[in-house]
């Protein structure tokens, strides 16, 4: 039997009656932000930020599958107010947030990928620091009831898995794509990630109806 948080979040999935017009504004903000990178020909930034956004989709897909196969709860759910819930742990506001966060993550990188800060490579240091900051935000969201955790291994008492699985891979993959030696490689890596996400959504969502 699913807990109330999971049942509520599941009932909200893809319910168009909750639409709010600010979604259109946020969409334009995201389009403008990525358009600025394209206008400045910052292709590395654009593809790396998209990789960050796509990594969130990877997490959201396995999270929705966890709910489907366990019959209990996802690792996280979004039972709070939202203009549109896409998957049980992903609403439209989170979707846009991660699209913009990817740009922030890349634009704050030092130009020298080999630069060491406190003796640590800056990419790894920033990945760890940014992941920690994201977990702190999630702890607050959980505290106010906007984000629900029901599994013992994924909660306030065990935030290390949220850090290790929920965020660190986002930043590691993003910085890896950014530092690739050519735009072609960046586009290929991001494209492969996008294809995998699209296939998973089509099969698990569109065909099987599991998510």
**What is the pLDDT, as a whole number, of residue 153?**
86
Backbone angles phi and psi of 78, in degrees to 5: -120, 80
Residues 6+ apart with CB under 8 A from 74: 6, 9, 63, 64, 66, 67, 88, 89
**What is the pLDDT, as a whole number, of residue 186?**
98
Quote the pTM value.
0.94
Q: Is 109 helix (H, G, I), strand (E, B) or coil?
A: coil
pLDDT tens-place string over residues 2-20: 899 999 999 999 999 999 9
Cα gap 120→102, rounded to integer Å: 22
Rounded to an integer, the average pLDDT of 111-138 is 96
Report the 10 Å Cβ neighbour count for 136. Answer: 12
pLDDT tens-place string over residues 173-205: 999 999 999 999 999 999 999 999 999 999 999
**What is the pLDDT, as a whole number, of residue 10?**
94
């Amino acid at each position: 039997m699913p807990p109330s948080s999971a049942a509520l979040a599941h009932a909200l999935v893809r319910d168009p009656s909750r639409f709010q017009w600010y979604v259109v504004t946020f969409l334009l903000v995201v389009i403008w932000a990525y358009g600025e990178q394209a206008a400045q020909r910052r292709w590395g930034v654009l593809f790396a930020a998209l990789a960050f956004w796509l990594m969130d989709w990877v997490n959201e897909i396995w999270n929705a599958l966890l709910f489907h196969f366990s019959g209990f709860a996802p690792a996280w759910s979004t039972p709070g107010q939202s203009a549109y819930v896409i998957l049980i742990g992903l609403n439209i506001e989170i979707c846009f947030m991660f699209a913009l966060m990817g740009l922030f993550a890349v634009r704050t990188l030092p130009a020298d990928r080999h630069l060491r800060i406190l003796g640590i490579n800056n990419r790894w240091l920033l990945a760890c620091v940014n992941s920690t900051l994201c977990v702190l935000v999630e702890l607050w969201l959980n505290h106010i009831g906007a984000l629900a955790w029901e599994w013992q291994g994924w909660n306030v008492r065990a935030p290390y898995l949220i850090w290790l699985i929920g965020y660190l891979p986002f930043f590691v993959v993003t910085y890896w794509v950014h530092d690739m030696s050519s735009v072609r490689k960046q586009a290929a890596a991001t494209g492969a990630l996008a294809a995998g996400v699209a296939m998973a959504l089509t099969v698990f969502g569109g065909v099987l109806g599991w998510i």
